[in-house]
Chain A
Amino acid sequence: MGDADTLFRLAALNTDYASCIDADRLEDWPGLFLEHCLYKITTADNHRRGYAAGVVYADSRAMLTDRVAALREANIYERQTYRHIVGMPALRPAEAGEIAAETPFLVVRTMRDGRMDLFAAGVYLDRVREDSGRLRFAERLVVCDSSRFDTLLAIPL
């Protein structure tokens, strides 16, 4: 697989990822990850210091499924939507059988009453693998530039 093809497939994966969240197809979102995976939302400062905790931390696809179930069934938060604007992936050195990429993102949050905020900006640090004919995330670290989260972070980034 050449770099151009890899980049194209990564971009398609990211588009699918953003669409799952922004179009409220959250039930499809865990399927973009391998069964054993790591999904973590953290900050640039924590990442730089090697602090392992995230505001969201899932080390299995089942934990992502639970996150969605909790949002649907349990958690109370005001109706809001995200719009992800995802940049071009930059390929990084990777282990055999894996693709590593770094991709910038912006997320605009629109609240029920129409208020819009630039909610998050940062990079996705990804390790991606081929699985049953498609690319899936072995690891997606969502590294936010800011350490501040406004009100709450309900929907994944």
Chain B
Amino acid sequence: MDAMTDRISSRLWPAGLTRVPYWVYTEQDVLAAEQKRIFEGPVWNYLCLEIDLPNNGDYRTTFVGSMPVVVTRAEDGEYCGFENRCAHRGALICLEDGGSVQDFQCVYHSWRYDLRGNLRSVAFSRGVNGKGGMPPDFDMSCHGPRKLRVTTFCGMVFGTLSPDAPEFETWLGPEIVSRVRRVLGNRRLEIIGRFTQALPNNWKLYFENVRDTYHASLLHLFFATFRITRLSSGGGVLVSETGEHHASATRAPPQGADSSYQGMRSDKESFRLADPSLLGMHDEFHDDIQLQILSIFPGFILQQVHNALAVRQIVPRGVDTTDLNWTYLGFVDDTPELRAHRLKQNNLVGPAGYVSMEDGAVGGFVQRGIAAAADELSVVEMGGAGAETQETRATEASVRGFWKAYRMHMGL
């Protein structure tokens, strides 16, 4: 263990998965350790979509945790990734969101890199008029930004900085693989919108919120009232063996009165839409799952809310600020009716989403609530103490799964 881990380990954290100390959301050294041990550790980080890079020479800038990264399509079509940091003085190599190039040249001193991130030339390396220049033994092959191992799956590009990351599909496990394929498999994706939501909270509070099947119909009245999801609808939560990944499902609701919410704030049976065309579902997945929220450790979410599809990428910006990058998706073969329906149903999600806007704020409520509570503990005990798959969503099993994986990766 290094000094950083020792310092973090000396803080209070009871054994088990049902208590989480608040210092994990507030301390700068924890964030720094997370970058090293989690984001740069043996995990696969979502980078971009394959359709972001349709041609050789295309690139897109993205993040692995707080690390800026360039993803490229090399001359032979291979997907490559490297840190967006010049090997000379550390400036960003690439300033744009994306584009198409033959090579990259740092604007600061014109050091030039190929599409795989290899340093190819150093300006004035032999000096000017026989004076100055780099030492004759300067070896360009020993200098370059850190490179990622990159893989693709269902139209998405993932990367890792760790030689110890397992093969991607093995790491996900067969159940999560099939749940991703259920939504994205063998379909030609099309981007229909991109938005960034700036969250006033630690990144983990958002990732926990995504995996928290308990809150959905209590915080989000819109869902409950229109029976888009209620915990009394069928469904459950799948948690991968290590706890790293999850997929929750909501199945078509049962008919008849439902009394399990009586007296709660989110119980408002009288609320009805003037234009109900927003609701309903085109049967594109040929099963009874109306909602599927899937997360891949440490910062990726695939969302299917009826026909509203999106991928979300979590980018930590500081202990109490996080960017959430939304990419709204459709498929190239969408009928005009289905596409129109997706555009309407996107009202459910995103920064202004009927059922997701609260998620943008509730993490901030926690972050502000715990301002003086670093050594206090939160309670994660709904549905027991384990992190295994459950046939109900009235459980925090998936949240405990996150902490199981987190403690494993952090060595805590």
Contact = CB atoms under 8 A, between A and B. Distances in A.
Interface of A: 41-43, 45-46, 51-60, 62-63, 65-67, 69-70, 73-78, 147-154
B361 A66 contact: no
* Closest 3 A/B residue pairs (Cβ): A53-B193, A62-B275, A152-B360
Contacts of A46: 193-195
Contacts, number: 123
A63 B275 contact: yes
B344 to A, nearest CB: 6
Given A56-B352, A63-B278, A73-B221, A51 B197 contact: no
Interface size class of B (residues with CB under 8 A): 35 or more
A62 B278 CA distance: 11
B274 A70 contact: no
B307 to A, nearest CB: 12
Given A148-B196, A153-B351, A57 B344 contact: yes
Contacts of A51: 191-194, 328
A150 B360 CA distance: 9
Contact of A151 (B198, B221, B273, B342): B198
B229 interface: no
A4 to B, nearest CB: 36
B21 interface: no
Interface in B181-229: 191-200, 219, 221-222, 225
Nearest to A30: B274
Given A52-B192, A152-B357, A69 B352 contact: no
Contact of A75 (B194, B275, B328, B358): B358
A52 to B, nearest CB: 5
Contact of A52 (B193, B221, B364): B193
Contacts of A59: 340, 343-344
A77 B221 CA distance: 12
A73 to B, nearest CB: 5
Given A51-B194, A66-B274, A77 B344 contact: no
B358 A76 contact: yes
B193 A149 contact: no
Contact of B346 (A53, A74, A75): A53
Contacts of B360: 151-152
Contact of B194 (A45, A62, A74): A45
A76 B215 CA distance: 13
A57 B343 contact: yes
A147 B360 CA distance: 16
21 contacts: A43-B194, A53-B328, A53-B343, A54-B346, A55-B351, A55-B352, A56-B347, A62-B273, A67-B347, A69-B271, A74-B222, A74-B268, A75-B222, A76-B219, A76-B221, A149-B197, A149-B351, A150-B198, A151-B360, A151-B361, A151-B364
A76 B193 CA distance: 25
Contact of B354 (A43, A60, A74): A74
Given A63-B275, A66-B275, A73 B352 contact: no
B198 A74 contact: no
Contacts of B191: 51
Nearest to A43: B195
Contact of B196 (A42, A60, A147): A147
Interface in B344-389: 344, 346-347, 350-352, 354, 357-358, 360-362, 364
Contacts of B342: 53
Given A43-B194, A62-B274, 12 more contacts: A46-B194, A51-B193, A53-B343, A54-B193, A59-B340, A59-B343, A67-B347, A76-B362, A147-B196, A149-B352, A151-B197, A152-B352
